[in-house]
Amino acid sequence: MSEVLANEQVAEGVYRLAVAGQFAGTMGQFYMLRAWDRYPLLSRPLSIFNVTAEYVEFLYLVAGEGTEMFSKLRKGDSISLEGPLGNGFSRPSGKTAFVGGGIGIAPFYYALGQIPDADVYLGFSREAYMVDEFRAGTTGQVVVNVGGIILDEVDFNAYDTIIACGPHKMLEAVQRKQADSGTKAEVYVSLENRMACGIGACLVCSVQCRDGRKKACADGPVFRAEEVVFA
């Protein structure tokens, strides 16, 4: 069991949670969190927003019963974490762009710790959040779009590596844009499938890939964009 350090609302329905302790993790990995005993049954996967020597942070959107319960946590409350889990991003080469849609921006803040000159594209449907933090975290440019299509702002031919996280429709568009632009960049997507065990045993987060089924939790959540078969 770990202890909640802070859980502050940063936008409507969006919270930044800090949990005390020494936690490991590379960029793009996630933890399974639960802040309750029995119900809801499943823990919730949240990607790492930040790790320091004293705490780990998560940025999450209230989307259902579990995240609703997270949103009510206060300093000093108990929470249990399993992780870090998943493959994360391998270290990008060359000029890098991070493209986040909505709460999909979460994994990129921590990634800037290792790629401090990456360009960051943040797309929001209604309200921007965490923009100042991202601006402070990179020497590259930070492009923000509210209500439009963030992907339209990204020149796929201007980068060596592009990593995107966001809604399925956005990631599908990333795959299309990769093909249409003829870019030579390595393009990755980070998936947010529903999970149960989080460790690769139950197969509920299965992803259809060109060479068969893969597990979002253990083989991913980061995949090469061209590898994923979007339904």
Partner 1 sequence: MMDMSCNIAGVHFKNPVVMASGTFGFGKEYGNYYDLNLLGGISGKGLTLHPKEGNSGIRVYETASGLLNSVGLENPGIPMFLREECPRWEGLDTARIVNLGGNTLQDYVDGALMIEQDEAARRREGRSAIDMIELNISCPNVKAGGMAYGIKTETAREVVREIRAVTSLPLVVKLSPNAEDIVGMAVMCETEGADGISLVNTFSAMKIDIRNRRSVFDNLYAGLSGPAIKPIALRMVHQVSRAVSIPVMGMGGISSAEDIVEFIMAGAAVIQVGTFNFINLRAGKELIEGLEQFMMEQKVNSLDEIRGIL
208 binds partner 1 (CB under 8 A): yes
204 binds partner 1 (CB under 8 A): yes
Q: Provide CB contacts within 8 A for 147, sequence distance 6+.
A: 124, 125, 126
CA-based end-to-end distance of the chain: 38
Binding mask 62-81 for partner 1 (x = CB under 8 A): ---x----------------
Residues in the chain: 231
Taking CB under 8 A as the binding criterion, the range among 139-147, 170-178, 181-189, 200-208 that sits at the site for partner 1 is 200-208
From the CB of 114, what's the least distance to partner 1, in Å? 25
CA–CA distance, 148 with 56 (Å, rounded to integer): 32
- Are the C-beta atoms of residues 107 and 60 closer than 8 Å to each other? no
CA–CA distance, 82 with 42 (Å, rounded to integer): 12
CA–CA distance, 145 with 153 (Å, rounded to integer): 8
Binding mask 115-134 for partner 1 (x = CB under 8 A): --------------------
Binding mask 20-59 for partner 1 (x = CB under 8 A): ------------------xxxxxx----------------
13 binds partner 1 (CB under 8 A): no
Q: Which of 214, 215, 221 is nearest to 200 (CA)?
A: 215
Taking CB under 8 A as the binding criterion, the range among 18-26, 101-109, 171-179, 201-209 that sits at the site for partner 1 is 201-209
Residues within window 82-101 making contact with partner 1, judged by CB under 8 A = 82
1 binds partner 1 (CB under 8 A): no
Nearer to partner 1 by C-beta: 149 or 203?
203
Instruction: Give 100's strand partners.
Output: 122, 165
- Are the C-beta atoms of residues 7 and 15 closer than 8 Å to each other? yes
196 binds partner 1 (CB under 8 A): yes
From the CB of 64, what's the least distance to partner 1, in Å? 8
From the CB of 69, what's the least distance to partner 1, in Å? 13
Q: Which chain residues interact with partner 1 by CB under 8 A? A: 38-43, 65, 82, 194-197, 199-206, 208, 212-213, 218, 231
